[in-house]
Each structure stands twice: as C-alpha cells, then as structure tokens.
Structure 1
Amino acid sequence: MASITDGTGHASEAAQLLNVLVVGAGIGGLSAAIFLRQQGHHVTLLEQSRFANELGAAVHMAPNATGLLLRMGINLEALGAVPCRILSQSLPNGKQLFEAPLWRSAGRWQHQWMLAHRVDLHKELKKVAIAEDGPGKPAILRTSSRVASVGTDGSVTLESGEQLKADLVIGADGVHSKARYALPGSQGFKPAGDGKSAFRFTMPRSRALEDPLTKPLAEKEGHLNMYMGKDRRVVIYPTRHHELLNFVCIHPTSESEQKDEKADGWQTDANLQKMLDVYKGWDPAVLKLLSMADEDTLKVWELLDMGQLPTWTEGQLALIGDAAHPFTPHQGQGAAQAIEDAASLACVLPLGVPLAEIPERLKLYEKCRVKRATNIQEYSRQSGADLGSGPPLDPGRFTDENFGHDEWHYTSQKLREWEWSRRPTAFRRMPTVFGPFPGPRQDHLGNSRDWTLSTFTTASVKFKTSRTLLENLLPSQVQFASPNSNCFATFSLSTLGNLEWLGGNGYNHFGLYIHGVEYTKENGDKVVGTYLPVLFENLADPIISGREELGMPKVFASLDVAREESAFRLEAGWMGNAFLDLYITGLSERPESNGVQASGAPGGGPPGAGPPPAHGPPPPPKEEGLFFHKFIPTTASEGSKERGRADVDYVGFLPNDEEAKAPRQVQSTLVADKAVIRFDSLDWKRLPTLHHIVDRLAEIPIYEVVEAKVVEGLRGSDVKGARRLV
C-alpha cells in the first residue's frame, strides 16, 4: 500500500494508489500533477517560491501542446490566448521575406497554435491541479518548500530538514534542477550559456497601434512577426485577447548588460538603452516599437543549453521538462515539451500499477520521450544559429515534426507494446496491431481463462463404417493404424455454456471423429489417435480462434438443439437450409451398451440391431489424442505460381494426457435406445460454402451404431495443450 511519510516512519496517508512528490510547480510540474491526478494518484507539489508565480510574458503553445491541455480540461482560447493566424519573416531593414496566412493550413493540425500568456496558463494549471472538483484527488501545493536533496528511492529532503518519502518523485525543478544530480552520471552536466541572451517584455498593443510608424507591426490579429539578422533577431506577437504584445529580442550575450548575475535568468533587469544599442541601424519602426518598452519591466534572459543526460530516470525518480532537457527558445517548444513529458509519464502510470514496476515504467517513459525531445533540442539549436554559420535549414520539416504529434496517443501505444512484450507466449492473430487476441485460452492480458464453472452437454453417436471411404478424408501424413476394412467413427455434438471467455454465453459444435489412425514422426515413432476432418460451429469467435491459434478445421453452420426428457435432437443448416438431422431417443440412466438401433443410415448401410457380430473387427489401438490438419494458403495474385500453395501445412495434435490434467466433471450419462442420422447435401445454390463438405459426409455409410449417449457435466477444456507434430 502506497504512502507518504513525515520522516518519522508514520504514514500520513494510505490508499491503493501512488503517492507522488513533484519537485517544482511550474508548467511541467503542474501538468504532471494534473495528469497523475486524473489517473487516480495522489500528488504533492513542492514549490520553492512563495506563490509559484510565472514570469509575466507570453509562451508558444503549439498544436502538440494545446491538445494535451484540452485533455487536462484547459481551453487556452477561453483564457485569452490568441490563435496564431499569420507568420511573417523580415530582414533588419524591414524588407519582408514572406508572409504566410496560417489559417489556410490550419486543417493540417488537429489543434490550434496558440499564443498564450504564461501567467494565465500557469494560474489555470494551478487551479486545475488543486481544485476540489474534477477527476481524482486534488493535488496538494506546498509553497516555500525549497528542496535540499532528492534520492532515487522516493525520498526528498527539504532545506528545513523535513524528510518526505513517496512512491515516486518527479523532478520538475527547471534548468537549475537539484533533482537532476541524484541520477547516476549526471554530475558533469550543467547548463551553460550558448552565447545568446534575450530581452523579454510585454506592452499594451494599443501603444503600438496609436503610432502610425509602429501600427503596421501590430495591426494584424494573430500575427507572429519575426525580424532576422545575422546574429540577432526580434520576435513580436500578441497575447491576452490581443491586448498585449510580447517581445523576445535575441542577441549576443556580450552586448547586453545584466545588473545582477546571481538573479534568476528569467527575472534579471535589463537596460532599455542597451537594448536599443543592440539593434542600432535596424528598421526605424522596429526601433521605435522597442523604445516604447517600460524599462522597469524589461528583463534579460541568458539562453542556456546542456548536453544530453545519460538517463532521465533511476529507481523511483524521473525528470521532466528543463530538468531533463533545457531548451533554447528558437522552436517555441520548451513549455510544450515539458507538458509532453508530463503526459507521457502519467500515461505509463495508470491506477493500480504495482510498486515493483515503477522503475521499469519510468524507463519506458524515458524511451518514449528521449528521442523526440532530443531531436527538438537540436532543431532549436540549428534554427538559432547565426545566419550563414551552418547548412540550409528546412523549417517546414521542423514544424511538421513538432506540431504533428500527440504524446498521449504515442505513449499509450508504446505502453501497450511494452505490456504485450512481457507476454511473449500470448496468442497473436489478425488483426495483430491490437495486441494479443482474447479467446478461449487467454484474456486480453494473456492470462489463462477459468473453465471450472463452464458446462457441457455432449451427444455422440459412434458407428462402424468403411475404412476405404474414410481414408480419403485423411491428410497424407495420417493413415489407419489397422489394415481392417471396417473402422469406427463418431458424430459428436457438444453444447458449451457459461464460458468466461464469452461473457457467460456459450455455443455449439458438431464434428466427425475418425478413430484408429496413426502419424509417423520424423524419428520413426508412431502416434495413434483420432482424426478430426471437420468441425461445424455456430459462432464466429471460436471458429476464428480455433482455426488461427490451433489450426482446427472449423467452419460455420447453424446448430439448433432441442432437448426433451428422453430425446435429443440436432438440426444443422446454413442460412435456413437444413443439411443434417440427428435424433437420439430412449435416453435413460443405465449402464452403457452396444447395439443401439440405427435408423436411416446414410450410404445404404443396413439398420442393424442387437450386439455387434462376435467375429467383428478388433478394437483399434489405444488412442493417445486428437489429430487435425493445419493448412493456411499463401497470399498470391491470380495466375501466380504461388497461388494455392501453403504458407502453413502440418498435422496438429491434442494429447489426451494434457486434457486429463483438467478433467471434465461428468454429472450424468444417458444411454440411448435409438439414433437417427440423416444428411442432405442439397446443392451449391443452397449450400454455396458447405456443399463440398456435406456431400462427402452424406456418403459415409453407417453399418452399425455401436454407442449413442448424452453426457453432461462441468469444466470444459481450452485445448491449450494442442501442438505441432514433427
């Protein structure tokens, strides 16, 4: 049972869920709290600041992020975020290189590209994470909780000395993460400047619209406006109901002045004149707009980068967001990738995850995320390089890969594949993309089915017939064990009920069983048993599973059973056309006997009465199991030499000793006085898919019925002991 403790060993809470500590309550940490809460887990957020406030600037929320926010229940447009409608790029002198109306390509992406205000987004994330309403239990937000150290065993120590313990710790503590350094091999990795910094500020859009010189830069709604110089650039876009303009002015770090090098890079004050000097000589409209910035809100941010960590997870610790992969801003994907991390991590941790699986599932999260996040990191580095310093870039490729992704859907599939890989022996049959196929031998997780409460009623008629005729129904690998011209076969009907794998429902099957045949193995050993040439069933599910998983010769037919006190009747047909009538009468509980009366034997055999002749054929050798022929044709076009050839062609075998491991529990055996079997092969029009089978069955002579009975009981068989004979 999962719990968070207070450091003294006393559980503060216990429940059948994961208790999670999230270090950091920024965009990534709050997103993780929401997704994990929605999964049913209990989350405590540890935020070092007093109010967990975000910087008053804007943030790109591309379609790959806005879709995940909608999954959390957050609609950015309702919060004032502006849909990005126009993308343009200009030279420093103001000459426009291109202007792309994005609404024309909006149908390419499932969700909108939004220009949001960080404060609005952060407040909404915090609200959703800790709200009393909504799915799951509200997250607990602990502010002024500065973390001193983090362990890989679920432990966190605060600077106050308080110790916390959880089932899982998520390091969402940003670029200067402390959680990062609990991971093996991470000590040599520290974020460092990439040579660029960014002035950041917002101003009322009305300020730009009031000046004729700057109005063209701000008058178009949803306009992401980029001015690109060789080693510096200015990015302008609206946010918060089009009321604010957001500015990101990237330049060489050496040209900007930081008043307090120890301050957080997001909050370091900047000098307005220094910013204007950095862009000296640029388009007058751009310079005029920059000069309108409020110096007391102007900040400078050094762009930090870091190499790829050896791992993001260890034990019960996982990193997300900038703690795992700091981003430069040139792709506008930093916050989006933190949200994707949060979604992926929560996705691999549904409610009910065993504690022992947490380390392996965290590795799965890392596997899902590391390639994509690392690629986008590199794209950001490439797109942020000075012009002319590298190979030509394809920004469209970057956009397609960035935007056209749904991390929840992606990780969900990877989680399924991971779960499937843990059950390599589970049955897989078409359509395979949905994973192991549930059926009579396994559930959707590959676990064995429970057959103990299933019921069966089997009506069988065993008879003497012609070996010469039946050997034409045997595959080449199987022959009769005895040279006698007489042989024995059985028509058998089983009604199965209360099957777990069919939700408590059942079905019927009827087949021909040819006794006393043998198969010679590659080493010369012989196996004697019964051969099943055809099995009719009245439900698609067992037909498909039996054909594909086992290779049994199953076909569809309607099998209508009528049961009376002392009689049992089967009518088999196809689409209302009856081809078989099997009727057993005079059923009573008495010792089983030979010599029941047969009537109307197909094939012209005599009805017969009384016991079998004293000098009849000897009984067949002891049978060891059931044979069947598995054949699957190759896929080939008409006229191809491969047409009609086999992809699979072998004899399968179900050993009696395997079936005996879970024996049926017989509750009653009723012996019959009389058995009637009548086939009518009809024609190809009335039996378009079965006529060739029924016509052959109708030829089988019944010389003498030697046994007819009805057996009822519990515990059917999943025939999972079936195997290939070699």
Structure 2
Amino acid sequence: MDTLRVAIAGAGIGGLAAAMALNREGVRVDVYEQASELREVGVGLHLASNGSRILRGWGLSEPLARVAVRPAALEVRDWAGGRTLTRQDMGDAWERRFGAPFYTVHRPDLHRLLAERLPAGQLNLNRRVTGFHDLGEDGVRLTFADGGTAHADVLVAADGVHSVIRRAVAGPDAPVFSGMSAFRGLVPAGRLDGIPRDTVLIWAGPRSRLLCYPVRDGRFLTFVAVVPSAGRRPESWSSTGDPDEVRAAFAGWALDVRALLAAVDEAGCWALYDREPLPAWGTGLVTLLGDAAHPMLPHHGQGASQAIEDAVVLGHCLSRAAADAGPGGARHLRLADALRRYEAIRRPHTARVQAASRDGGSQRLGPAERPDSAERPGSAAATRSLVEDVSWIQSHDVRDDLDETAAEVVSHETV
C-alpha cells in the first residue's frame, strides 16, 4: 500500500503542528504556504498547560523553556492607583495542578520551533491554495493562484479564518463582532522599572483592560490593551494601530500603565471577532484545523493550544485509517471516515471553548457595582474565579478523548 499523503494549506502554528503530528505517525506531508518566506507575525501568546503537555510529549520541553517564560504569578493591579490587589501563584503550583507548565511565548519563537522540525522538502512557499476537487477514490486535487495543481490523499485547511477551503466546505458565514478591539505590541523590558519580568499582570478598568506578560526569556514584555471599539475595524491580524491612540485610551490610568505604554514604538490593532461554531468541518477527504475550524476570541488564550490539540487527534485518526485501509474505494472511505472521527472528537470541545472565550478571562474582572462585593476585581475570590474559569480547559488532556481503539495503539508517551 502506498504511504498516505496529506496536503496542509497554511504554515502557521496550526499547520506546522499538524505536520509534526502527522510526521510522527509516519504520514507523508506537503505543506503549502502562500507567503514567499516562512515567518509568523504577532507578539506574545499564552501556551497553556493543555498545549504544553503535547509539546513536551513531542520532545520540545528544553527548546521551549529556553525561549519562553514560565510565569511565577498572576497579579491583578488597581487600574487607577497601581497597587497590587491580589496575587495568584503560578509556576510550580500551576504545573502541579494542571500537569504541565503554563508558558508565555513570543509567537514567532513558537512558530520557529515547529518549523525547524519540518523535514526538508515538505514546505512549499508561494503556493496559495485557491480551490480543490475531491476526486473520491483518486484523492484530492489542489489548485493554486499561479495556475498549478497538486495531488494528495487528504487535504487539511489550516490557513485561518479567511480560508477559501472553509468557505467551500461550510459555506459563507458572518463574523461576530465583540464590540472590542485589542492593541498589542512588544516593549523591551530594560526600558521599564517596576514591572516584573516573571509575572502576568492585569489592570481591569471601568471599560478597558490591560494585560502585560513577559516573553523571550523575560527580555521583552507583551502588552494587550482591550478597549471598546467605536466602529468595526477590518478582521485582520496584520492591521497596525497608532500608539498615541492606545496611550490616550489609558491616559488616566496608573503610573506604571502609562509608563508601559509610553515605551511603545509600534502596535498592532485587531478588532475582536469570532464565528459561531460550525455544524461540520469538512466533507469527503477535506477537513479544517485551528482557526479555519474554530476561530475564537483571545480571552482564554487558547488559539494555539486548541490547534495543537487538533493536530494530535488528526494525526491519530489518519494514521489508524492508513494502517487499516485497503486499496481503491475502501481506502477512500476509510480516510473520509477518519476525518469525520477527528471532527466528532474535536468539535464539541472547541465549540465549548469558543463559547467560554466570549465572556471569560480578564473580562470577569470588570469593576463590580458594589465596592464591598466579594467578586470585586481585586478580591482573592475574583482571582480564584478567574483561575477556575480556565481550569477545565487547562487540565484537559486531549489524549483522553481518543476512542477505545485509539487507546489500544497510542500510549501517553507517544502521542
């Protein structure tokens, strides 16, 4: 039997994670990326315990620890006066509770770690997928913007929320605007005094919030300023923002907030959209992964981790189908069934995370109506509530979602 060949559209974190999971299962992979060079845009991200435990299983613990930060604590600070209201231990305590570290990491650093493990010859640049044809027993034919074509047994769309493959398999859908925008950027930590390099900081104000956390071994700080949006901005991860605009939005805030934003040279600005969960991710020999399947708001910091979880399940389901499939139509049907199993395992969980991300995270720390409330932003109860809000996501081990057949052939040490 010929080796199973999977085409992946998109070489972001989700696409590269899928390639790594499939390569580990002995599947032949071709990754098609529309850009002329392999690079990832963005600033920092949260790699939660549910994602880091997978990367640890893939042997990435040491390289990840060299570039990422394992925060020692989460602090909530007074938005007006700047004093620390409450502090929640992370570090070892978080790892003991959730079974794996919580990291803050520069997005390009995580992207590079995955890209460096992509075997030579698997990456194809300047190849923007514009369509596909499911040929049934003969696999899938991809078409590209340059007029070229390629062939694979299975097509996986990991090319983001604007994926043409998503629209082809799920139809058009309307983005859901949250009414908020997020300014994001990086500041060299050496420019700032009084802001720790090992702590996730949150200032929750009347209408806006500011988050700050270390990346690149603490040499830089990522900030995320979430503000009400007067109008709809483009749904884009590459839009730029005016640093003066974000400084103006926080002009009356604490001194450390103003000092942090004064050090900002440039910022991106993203309108915060998501989508309603899809009833199906694919058809025939085609499926979706990561943001192409389940774009979500960033308030739980789960975009990367959910894509990595997708990759594990996809790799398992396809490798089992490849091992069991016979020739001709039997192979085609086995592979299609494997994709539907992958989707059936992942869709309920990702839909739940999507919904929870809409009103979770630091949004729960908005100023309380009554200053004596036990749930006011600076109370220990409010911070514990914030942690409990994500505990079910971070303690989740995607390997436990694999069916009984999966458990017979995939151990926790090899996923």
TM-score norm. by structure 1 comes to: 0.50
Alignment-derived partner of residue 413 in structure 2 = none
Q: Is the 8 A contact 1:45 1:140 kept in 2?
A: yes
Q: 1:21 aligns with which of 7, 13, 25?
A: 7
* Worse-matched range after superposition: 87-96 or 154-163: 87-96
What SS does structure 1 have at the residue aligned with 2:318?
A: coil
Q: Is the 8 A contact 1:66 1:113 kept in 2?
A: yes
2: CA distance, partners of 1:250 / 1:22: 33
Alignment-derived partner of residue 130 in structure 2 = 148
Q: Match for 1:228: what amino acid?
A: A
Q: CA RMSD for the aligned pairs?
A: 2.4
Alignment-derived partner of residue 306 in structure 2 = 337
2: CA distance, partners of 1:228 / 1:284: 14
Following superposition of structure 1 onto structure 2, how do residues 318-329 of structure 1 map, counting pairs within 5 Å? 318-329=287-298
1:293 aligns with 2:255: no
1:112 aligns with 2:101: yes
1:316 aligns with 2:285: yes
Alignment-derived partner of residue 243 in structure 2 = 272
Alignment-derived partner of residue 351 in structure 2 = 374
Alignment-derived partner of residue 182 in structure 2 = 198
What SS does structure 2 have at the residue aligned with 1:313?
A: coil
Q: 1:399 aligns with which of 382, 385, 390?
A: 390
Q: 1:71 aligns with which of 22, 37, 57?
A: 57
Q: 1:293 to 1:156 in 2, by over 3 A?
A: same
2: CA distance, partners of 1:140 / 1:173: 16
Q: 1:250 to 1:55 in 2, by over 3 A?
A: same
Following superposition of structure 1 onto structure 2, how do residues 16-95 of structure 1 map, counting pairs within 5 Å? 16-75=2-61, 76-93=63-80, 94-95=82-83
Higher relative contact order (CA 8 A, sep 6+): 2
Q: Match for 1:396: what amino acid?
A: V
Q: Is the 8 A contact 1:266 1:301 kept in 2?
A: yes
Q: Match for 2:128: what amino acid?
A: R
Q: Is the 8 A contact 1:17 1:42 kept in 2?
A: yes
Following superposition of structure 1 onto structure 2, how do residues 178-197 of structure 1 map, counting pairs within 5 Å? 178-183=164-169, 186-197=170-181
What's the CA shift for 1:389? Answer: 10
Q: Is the 8 A contact 1:347 1:408 kept in 2?
A: no
Q: Is the 8 A contact 2:94 2:102 kept in 1?
A: no
* Count of aligned pairs: 379
Alignment-derived partner of residue 378 in structure 2 = none
Q: Match for 1:205: what amino acid?
A: A
What SS does structure 2 have at the residue aligned with 1:293?
A: coil
What's the CA shift for 1:53? Answer: 1.1
Deviations 1:541-575 (A, max 9, x none): xxxxxxxxxxxxxxxxxxxxxxxxxxxxxxxxxxx
Q: Percent same amino acid at aligned positions?
A: 31
Q: 1:245 aligns with which of 210, 215, 221?
A: 221
What's the CA shift for 1:196? Answer: 1.3
Q: Is the 8 A contact 2:192 2:259 kept in 1?
A: no
Q: Is the 8 A contact 1:152 1:314 kept in 2?
A: no
Deviations 1:403-447 (A, max 9, x none): 112213432547459x9xxxxxxxxxxxxxxxxxxxxxxxxxxxx
Q: 1:411 to 1:198 in 2, by over 3 A?
A: same
What's the CA shift for 1:361? Answer: 1.3
TM-score norm. by structure 2 comes to: 0.85
2: CA distance, partners of 1:343 / 1:141: 20
Q: Is the 8 A contact 1:308 1:374 kept in 2?
A: yes
2: CA distance, partners of 1:357 / 1:389: 54
What SS does structure 2 have at the residue aligned with 1:352?
A: helix
Structure 1 residue runs of 4+, over 4 Å off? Answer: none
Q: Is the 8 A contact 1:191 1:304 kept in 2?
A: yes
What's the CA shift for 1:191? Answer: 2.7
Q: 1:347 to 1:81 in 2, by over 3 A?
A: same
2: CA distance, partners of 1:127 / 1:104: 31
Gaps of 5+ in 2: 326-330, 370-374, 376-381, 410-415
Q: 1:389 to 1:89 in 2, by over 3 A?
A: closer
What's the CA shift for 1:33? Answer: 0.4
Q: Please tell me whether Structure 1 or Structure 2 has the larger radius of gyration of its CA atoms.
A: 1
Q: Match for 2:201: what amino acid?
A: N
1:99 aligns with 2:125: no
What SS does structure 2 have at the residue aligned with 1:182?
A: helix
Alignment-derived partner of residue 323 in structure 2 = 352
1: CA distance, partners of 2:65 / 2:95: 19
Q: 1:105 to 1:54 in 2, by over 3 A?
A: closer
1: CA distance, partners of 2:356 / 2:272: 15
What's the CA shift for 1:161? Answer: 1.4
Following superposition of structure 1 onto structure 2, how do residues 302-313 of structure 1 map, counting pairs within 5 Å? 302-313=271-282
Q: Match for 2:89: what amino acid?
A: P
What's the CA shift for 1:402? Answer: 1.1
2: CA distance, partners of 1:21 / 1:322: 17
1: CA distance, partners of 2:304 / 2:106: 12
Q: Is the 8 A contact 1:227 1:233 kept in 2?
A: yes
What's the CA shift for 1:38? Answer: 0.8
Deviations 1:54-95 (A, max 9, x none): 124111111110111122222254431000210112232124
Q: 1:105 to 1:25 in 2, by over 3 A?
A: closer
1: CA distance, partners of 2:158 / 2:121: 15
2: CA distance, partners of 1:190 / 1:160: 29
Q: Is the 8 A contact 1:43 1:139 kept in 2?
A: no
